[in-house]
Amino acid sequence: MSIDDAARRAEQLRREIDTHNRAYYEHDAPTVSDAAYDALFRELQALEAAHPALATPDSPTRRVGGRPLAQFETVAHAVPMLSIQTETDTGASGAENFDARVRRELELPETAPPIEYAAELKFDGLAVSLRYEHGLLARGATRGDGLNGEDVTQNLKTLHDIPLRLQGVAPPVLEVRGEVYMRRDDLARYNQRARARAEKPLVNPRNGAAGSIRQLDPAIAASRPLKFFAYGLGALEGWNLPATHRELLDALAAFGFPVCEHRTVVRGWRALADFHDRMGERRAQIPFDFDGVVYKVNSLALQNRLGFRSREPRWAVAHKYPAEEARTVVTAIDVQVGRTGALTPVAKLKPVFVGGVTVTNATLHNEDEARRKDVRIGDTVVVRRAGDVIPEIVGIVPEERPLARMRFQGRKAWLSIRRNFQSFGWRKIPAPYIGRMPRHPAFALPETCPECGSRIVREEGGAIARCAGGLVCPAQLKGALLHFASRRAMDIEGLGEKLVEQLIAGGHIKTPADLYTLNMPMLASLERMGEKSAANLLAAIEKSKATTLARLIFALGIRNVGETTAKDLAQHFGKLATLSQADAAALEKVPDVGAIVAESILDFFAEAHNREVIDRLIAAGVHWQENEGRADAPPGPFSGKTFVLTGTLPNLKRDDAKALIENAGGKVSGSVSRKTDYLVAGEEAGSKLDKARELGIAILDEAGLLRQLKGD
């Protein structure tokens, strides 16, 4: 066969194979037998092997996959892959809330006609971006952190739903966003074959899709039954956008992309809520998983007008469905200590499959919540994956609670058991419970921290109980060390997260005071350290010994004591000893120190472990100038004024702007309130700007701040 004849035959085979692929993968209607298809495919492979110049980027043979990769390369998204705000109200009012926000942002009067929306399914898979250059697939990437993703082009080319070449006239650059997913029936067939081969089955469609695309060997992705839906655009060059989102999806379908048929265009929130309900009723019949619907303003011109807030579009929202629920039994209740000292009761469960995963633990949030739900060991409970992520216990099944015969009788016992059941809304106690009591007692937090034995404290009116041993508690140690060494605290350069983890794991550090006992041989022996890095760290530790009282107070990590409050405390008391011995009345004389902050300070210094750490710091040579502060300093132009910073300023960094304000006598707060005097707003200012406008607070840009500073 001549090269010209081979080229014509190869092109004919590619067209024929593509036609059969669309019939099989997109319409589930095979047009030839498997044997006939395989014969065509092998013929094309042979022609391309004999004449390598005939192999085109969009050839069906390219879907087989390339060589395994050592790792994925990181690629930057030309247009960020932003997330969509989730509407947590799963009822009809969720749609009403979104519509109200859109109308408010567009400043529409109540008499204005309903807004036109596009509504579609929220797929439960892996978001990807496909970049086409002059009609050919050039690159495929995962979402990653929204700004940067992983190059998974080889794996995405194995999906027959994704065109290697666009149909029709393609623009120079077209970046298509969509979802890789797996049908439930395809997953079941794949798992059946996997078990027959003694291979590990896939857990659920979502994990199957995400795990397949992130395989370094594209042959694995090619073996998985993956599919794709297109739903939006990224970067674009040389193409005139249609006027609406619906027309955009139609255009993507014309280019050869599969677009989900379950979509509609409606007017007003009631029609959105109706679509949400109808799709919810059909979840079991639709062959792939989706956990909600997405509402988008249909007009692209209105989308541009609405713009974005933070990293979310104002013109779209994900309206989810209630999470899946299942029943299981509580086998134990443990108490976990978080990195901030918060104590969280966690129910240990008999394994149960819910929301696509096997759940063995569920949070009870806090003691009040555990007592309110009255969850006890042995109870049968209803478990839900809140937001399809964090398992939680919805409630118990009272009639299945394990019982024991009452060991005593009398009015007190009878009232106790009656209150127990009335708390669940039962007016009459079931017969099996008469003369019986729950076998296990109600949950209660321990009196001391299970990690370090320190006291457990709880702010008045607060729901969270915390360990008071902030500087010595192993559960809090990593966070305490990183905070202690941070730039605004003791400023120990070079003490990063990985190094802290090594020091803790090796038993070299149990409190921040142990930092000042580190030595060269030990540090140099750590992974990725060496003598030079060790010497630099030791020099930074030595330098940190000379500090200020405000920095030291902040470094101690006292709950509710931030950088500004630490400065106020240092200025007011002047000496650490005076501060540590102050009572609540003395503490509350400090500006902006109320009962809660005062209680946190008292709890910290009441813990003997914390006082011992401070003594060890002083013994190690940590020192500062007593009586520091600006008590005698002349008032600055911002004296007595409270500022809030929001957004990105054109020239000043947030820390620089804060320092300018504080050096001029002002105070910088983290939240807007009626006590705020000025809001300094930069680009992408969010809800703080909205609240400041509502309260009538003066708003400055960077130039206005500098003019105020000069007194202009």
- As annotated, the active-site residues are 122
Burial (CB count within 10 angstroms: exposed 0-12, middle 13-18, buried 19+), residue 145? exposed
The stretches of 232-268 forming alpha helices (DSSP H) are: 245-255
Give the largest Cα separation in the chain, rounded. Answer: 104
Helices 34-50 + 3-21 axis angle, to 10: 150
Cβ–Cβ < 8 Å for 559, 341: yes
Q: Which amino acid is at 449?
A: C
The rounded distance, in Å, linking the Cα atoms of 112 and 431 is 61
The rounded distance, in Å, linking the Cα atoms of 66 and 216 is 10
Can you read off the two tokens belonging to residue 252?
Answer: 């993507």
Burial (CB count within 10 angstroms: exposed 0-12, middle 13-18, buried 19+), residue 414? middle
| Range 494-533 burial, b when 16+ CB lie within 10 A, else e | ebeeebbebbbeeebbbbbbbbbebeeeebeebeebeeee
CA atoms within 13 A on the CB side of 18: 17
* Strand ranges, E, within 597-663: 623-624, 642-646
The rounded distance, in Å, linking the Cα atoms of 139 and 75 is 10
User: Tokens 């000292």 label which residue?
Assistant: 341
Bridge partner residues of 380 (DSSP): 329
